[in-house]
């Protein structure tokens, strides 16, 4: 006959002292208090599920009093009677609570920033900053603090349509950005589906803008002469001079660094991180460019950037400086923009100076193979490009003096992708 178990009392528990080894005080039906050698008193419930012995902790005494321990014990026994394992149920409940916490913690802003940081090495600094700026201004204030998995397609569509009222181009950019952020979340198992993948047609079609470019000698000469007479900052004047001469992208020019310039070889080495196509690029410097840079060195040479900000030697010139300066010289945005000089060079180098398209495209850093099918590399056609850049600089000098009267004046529109 089994020995009868006398239920525990508060007094008996209080008198229980630690011994050299752990021991137990039983309350009945599998409930007992484990007295540890360290002095801790822990509630335990021993039971069987499918004839398999199991054990579950009910807490620490006196945090869990004797009545509370019996209450938890009774609830656990009822679960066992129904064939439910209390320990397994507790584990599943804990996992659900943790999953809910993670779900609520994985807000759109958190995951979008994580995606952005993951993609940053693949982008130029300017492009990465632009993407984040659009998110911080137009998206995070609206849905940023929401769990990414609960945001719906109609909510995203509504957000984009409101942005489109102000600027359609930004809305289209955000549409792509949001879709990519969700794609990242789906791949990571954070979100079960991509609600931004069903947004086709939610925005009006975008009419691609073109950038004004002077592509006749007369119009180009007019701009070059005006630049020579620029009376503002000498740093800005140098940038205005080099913009048409080197015809790189405006962001590449304004972020030119002195360490990238080799005066002995007359070369400017632009690292891949600054290039649109993420490939290193060489710009042969004609004699006029070297002279311009050397005249500027005493002013900005102690800093990092050739064209430093007016406010800091360790920051590049503002993205709008050259554009604003052209306006102050009297040229509208329909006549010329800094990026348009790439089309200017492309047109006149081929049509007037008769250089081969392959050489011009290589200097423009466009990702096209040469005629032998070789992929672009930074030294491709370097000898031809070096000669071409000097001929181009000499041609620009000649335009300031000699203008062919028989040619019509005007400007054309160059594609954004140049």
Q: Which residues are catalytic?
A: 249, 276, 339, 342, 366, 376
Nearest to 228 by CA among 218, 217, 240: 240
The separation between CA 125 and the C-alpha centre of its own chain, rounded to angstroms, equals: 9
- Give all strands (DSSP E) within 115-155, no chain letters: none
3-state SS track over 151-218: CCHHHHHHHHHHHHHHCHHHHHHHHHHHHHHHHHHHHCCCCCCCHHHHCCCCCCCCCCCEEEECCCHH
Q: What is the distance between the alpha carbons of residues 242 and 236, in angstroms, rounded to a whole number?
A: 10
Two tokens at 355? 């250089």
Cα distance between the two ends of the chain:
96
Two tokens at 49? 């599920």
Residues in the chain: 418
Q: What is the distance between the alpha carbons of residues 319 and 35, in angstroms, rounded to a whole number?
A: 72
| DSSP annotation of 21 | S
* Sign for the pseudo-dihedral over CA of 315, 318, 322, 328: negative
Three-point CA angle 127, 128, 132, nearest 5°: 115
């Amino acid at each position: 006959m089994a020995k009868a178990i006398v239920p525990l009392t508060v007094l008996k528990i209080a008198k229980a002292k630690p011994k050299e080894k752990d021991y137990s005080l039983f309350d009945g039906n599998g409930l007992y208090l484990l007295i540890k050698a360290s002095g801790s008193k822990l509630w335990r419930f021993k039971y069987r599920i499918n004839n398999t012995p199991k054990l579950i902790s009910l807490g620490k005494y006196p945090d869990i009093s004797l009545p509370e321990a019996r209450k938890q014990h009774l609830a656990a026994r009822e679960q066992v009677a129904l064939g439910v394992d209390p320990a397994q149920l507790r584990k599943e409940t804990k996992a659900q609570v943790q999953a809910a916490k993670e779900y609520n913690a994985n807000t759109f802003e958190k995951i979008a920033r994580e995606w952005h940081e993951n993609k940053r090495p693949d982008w130029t600094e300017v492009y990465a900053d632009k993407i984040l700026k659009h998110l911080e201004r137009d998206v995070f204030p609206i849905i940023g603090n929401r769990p990414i998995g609960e945001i719906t397609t109609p909510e995203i569509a509504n957000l984009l349509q409101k942005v489109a009222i102000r600027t359609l181009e930004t809305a289209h950019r955000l549409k792509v950005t949001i879709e990519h952020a969700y794609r990242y979340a789906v791949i990571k198992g954070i979100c079960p589906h991509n609600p931004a993948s069903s947004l086709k047609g939610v925005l009006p079609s975008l009419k691609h803008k073109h950038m004004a470019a002077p592509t006749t000698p007369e119009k180009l000469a007019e701009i070059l002469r005006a630049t020579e007479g620029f009376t503002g900052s000498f740093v800005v004047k140098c940038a205005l001079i080099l913009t048409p001469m080197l015809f790189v992208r405006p962001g590449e020019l304004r972020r030119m660094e002195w360490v990238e310039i080799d005066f002995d070889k007359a070369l400017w080495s632009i690292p891949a991180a600054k290039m649109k196509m993420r490939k290193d690029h060489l710009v042969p410097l004609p004699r006029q460019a070297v002279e311009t840079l050397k005249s500027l060195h005493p002013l900005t040479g102690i800093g990092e950037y050739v064209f430093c900000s007016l406010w800091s030697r360790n920051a590049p010139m503002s993205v709008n400086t050259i554009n604003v300066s052209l306006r102050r010289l009297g040229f509208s945005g329909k006549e010329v923009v800094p990026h348009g000089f790439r089309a200017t060079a492309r047109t006149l180098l081929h049509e007037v100076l008769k250089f081969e398209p392959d050489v011009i495209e290589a200097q423009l850093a466009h990702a096209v193979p040469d005629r032998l099918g070789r992929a672009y590399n930074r030294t491709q056609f370097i000898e031809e490009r070096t000669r071409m850049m000097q001929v181009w600089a000499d041609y620009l000098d000649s335009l300031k003096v000699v203008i062919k009267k028989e040619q019509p004046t005007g400007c054309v529109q160059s594609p954004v992708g140049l």
